[in-house]
């Protein structure tokens, strides 16, 4: 391939030009030459090839539309923010009318240790907040040492980040968040994105994020969704592994991810208030630093609606009071074929608010073991819970759970002594009314600390309990 060397005479190729004036020697400030090379490429070949080496930049680099910035390889070309700049601005910024940009085959180093008092995103979207981002592609890159987040795409209400692909990248040591609040804001860690539409985040690896791996949000927009987060490996992210965020998003596939987060302070997968979600075949190690009760390997706001959760393996945080493998509270839920162990509280919990009605819930073929570790004997492997109403003695609420089938699950404790008090728990806490059309069928409940089933709810004539194994397994206590 023949390239135009920017600033030198050379034959023009239709495919690419090279940023020939950039020194990339690790000492020279290449900001002006880098920006000039981008501007030249945008007018001609559309693809800019950067030199090998370490290219130092200071102020924000503006990236126009329809350009491909390519390095010589993830470890060979490094863009690094200069130490001591301490600017509260993005390192790179999408500046065109659509954000249609490709970035591949290089490292972007935000150098947060050299800029301790200020910083922002390694790649931001300030230039396109009012028009949205479309067709952004980021592949085979390494994003490291970002001050806030490696990729922070925050567009205005009414705009979207559409048809983006973030694939085959490494994320290392991004974010400065040390608090639960910063995680919830969603702007610290690896990928922070508002109003995603048809976004794919696949085959990435994350190490030691001080914040979240991926945190989406809807920004109040309707029409957000159809996202795919699959085949990613996350080690030691302190916030969310994958958080859908916001309200009323529709359509998500979260699959085949390894979320190894033993010190996280959030749900590993948080479904927020979205609907039409599939969560399958993920391996999760849940976190022990949750500052509130109820963190889960897979959880929702609640409620998330029309959710399928299947084939996941979750090792919960045994020291978290109220911690669960799964905590969901919406309607039309299918929870099947999962494996859950070592929950601090209940293993699989269906929990609804005192003014919420959930229905159409199938819990089947799951293996739940050794729960209630932080509250010995107080919780079951599978629990139904309705929050208390405003009246005295937990009355006055209108919460309800109906059309629930719990069948063919294996729920047991093989520890000595056992911590998991019960196989199935019905209204062990909270409201004792509002649970209807309940079927508990064919479960193996024989090896729990106290008894197979415990209910403190007022039983209904439409309850069916039969075919469960264990001493007096079909009896209500």
| pLDDT tens per residue, range 31-54 | 999 999 999 998 887 899 999 999
Average pLDDT over residues 225-247: 97
Domain membership of residue 340 (yes or no) is yes
Domain membership of residue 236 (yes or no) is no
Q: Out of 181-185, 260-264, 331-335, 438-442, which region has the weakest mean confidence (pLDDT)?
A: 181-185
**Range(s) of the domain holding residue 342:** 286-477
What confidence tens digit (pLDDT) does each residue in 59-80 have? Answer: 999 999 999 999 999 999 999 9
Strand 61-63 relative to strand 92-94: parallel, antiparallel, unpaired?
parallel
Distance CA 329, CA 467 (A): 27
The DSSP call for residue 467 is: S
Domain membership of residue 305 (yes or no) is yes
Residue 4 has pLDDT above 60, yes or no: no
Could you count the other beta carbons within 10 Å of the beta carbon of residue 418? 18
Q: According to the model, what pLDDT value does residue 13 have?
A: 46
Q: Burial level of 293, CB count in 10 A (0-12/13-18/19+)?
A: middle
Sequence-distant (≥ 6) Cβ neighbours of residue 416 within 8 angstroms: none
Q: According to the model, what pLDDT value does residue 2 have?
A: 34
Q: Burial level of 216, CB count in 10 A (0-12/13-18/19+)?
A: buried
Q: According to the model, what pLDDT value does residue 477 have?
A: 80
What confidence tens digit (pLDDT) does each residue in 173-230 have? Answer: 999 988 888 888 889 999 999 999 999 999 999 999 999 999 999 998 999 999 999 9
Higher pLDDT, 208 or 394: 208
Q: Out of 184-188, 314-318, 353-357, 419-423, which region has the weakest mean confidence (pLDDT)?
A: 184-188
Domain count, the chain: 1
What confidence tens digit (pLDDT) does each residue in 243-264 have? Answer: 999 999 999 999 999 999 999 9
Residue 427 has pLDDT above 70, yes or no: yes
Domain membership of residue 425 (yes or no) is yes
Distance CA 73, CA 6 (A): 20
Domain membership of residue 440 (yes or no) is yes
Max Cα-Cα span within the chain: 88
Distance CA 218, CA 194 (A): 6
For 406, the token pair is: 């719990």
pLDDT tier at 11, thresholds 50, 70, 90: very low
Domain membership of residue 48 (yes or no) is no
For 339, the token pair is: 């494996």
For 208, the token pair is: 């030691």
pLDDT tier at 316, thresholds 50, 70, 90: very high
For 330, the token pair is: 């919406």
What confidence tens digit (pLDDT) does each residue in 77-130 have? Answer: 999 999 999 999 999 999 999 999 999 999 999 999 999 989 899 999 988 998
Closest CA to 214 of 153, 157, 129: 153
Sequence-distant (≥ 6) Cβ neighbours of residue 420 within 8 angstroms: 347, 369, 370, 371, 372, 379, 380, 381, 411, 412, 413, 448, 449
Distance CA 400, CA 427 (A): 11
- Per 3-state DSSP, what percentage of the chain is helix, strand, and coil (rounded to 5)? 5, 45, 50
Q: Burial level of 392, CB count in 10 A (0-12/13-18/19+)?
A: exposed
Domain membership of residue 376 (yes or no) is yes
The residue count of the chain comes to 477
Domain membership of residue 147 (yes or no) is no
Q: According to the model, what pLDDT value does residue 6 have?
A: 38
pLDDT tier at 286, thresholds 50, 70, 90: very high
pTM of the model: 0.95
């Amino acid at each position: 391939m023949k390239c135009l060397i920017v600033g030198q005479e050379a034959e023009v190729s239709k495919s690419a030009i090279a940023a020939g004036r950039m020194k990339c020697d690790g000492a020279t400030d290449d900001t002006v030459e880098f920006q000039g090379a981008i501007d030249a490429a945008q007018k001609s070949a559309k693809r800019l090839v950067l030199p090998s080496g370490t290219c130092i930049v200071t102020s924000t680099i503006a990236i126009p539309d329809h350009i491909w910035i390519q390095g010589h390889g993830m470890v060979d070309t490094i863009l690094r923010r200069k130490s001591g700049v301490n600017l509260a601005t993005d390192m790179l910024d999408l500046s065109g009318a659509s954000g249609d940009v490709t970035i591949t085959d290089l490292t972007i180093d935000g150098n947060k240790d050299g800029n301790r008092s200020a910083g922002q995103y390694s790649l931001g979207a300030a230039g396109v907040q009012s028009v949205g981002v479309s067709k952004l592609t980021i592949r085979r890159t390494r994003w490291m040492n970002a001050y806030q987040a490696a990729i922070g795409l925050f567009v205005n209400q009414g705009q979207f980040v559409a048809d983006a692909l973030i694939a085959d990248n490494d994320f290392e040591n991004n974010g400065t968040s040390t608090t639960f609040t910063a995680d919830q804001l969603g702007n610290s860690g690896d990928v922070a994105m508002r109003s995603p539409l048809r976004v794919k985040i696949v085959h990435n690896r994350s190490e030691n994020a001080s914040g979240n791996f991926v945190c989406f949000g809807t920004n109040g927009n309707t029409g957000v969704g159809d996202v795919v987060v699959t085949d990613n490996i996350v080690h030691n992210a302190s916030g969310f592994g994958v958080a859908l965020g916001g309200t009323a998003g529709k359509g998500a596939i979260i699959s085949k991810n390894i979320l190894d987060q033993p010190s996280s302070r959030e749900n590993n997968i948080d479904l927020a208030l979205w609907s039409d979600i599939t969560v399958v075949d993920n391996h999760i190690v849940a976190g022990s630093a949750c500052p509130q009760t109820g963190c889960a390997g897979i959880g929702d706001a609640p409620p998330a609606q029309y959710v399928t959760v299947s084939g996941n393996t979750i090792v919960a945080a045994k020291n978290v009071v109220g911690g669960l493998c799964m905590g969901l509270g919406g309607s039309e839920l299918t929870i099947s074929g999962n494996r859950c162990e070592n929950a601090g509280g209940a293993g699989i919990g269906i929990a609804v608010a005192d003014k919420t009605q959930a229905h159409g819930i199938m819990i089947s073929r799951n293996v739940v073991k050794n729960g209630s570790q932080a509250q010995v004997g107080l919780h079951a492997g599978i629990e139904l819970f309705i929050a208390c109403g405003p009246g005295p003695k937990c009355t006055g609420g209108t919460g309800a759970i109906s059309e629930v089938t719990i069948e063919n699950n294996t729920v047991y404790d093989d520890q000595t002594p056992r911590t998991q008090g019960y196989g199935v728990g019905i209204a062990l806490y909270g409201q004792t009314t509002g649970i209807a059309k309940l079927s508990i069928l064919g479960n193996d409940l024989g090896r729990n600390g106290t008894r197979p089933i415990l209910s403190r709810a007022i039983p209904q004539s439409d309850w069916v309990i039969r075919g469960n194994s264990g001493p007096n397994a079909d009896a209500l206590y």
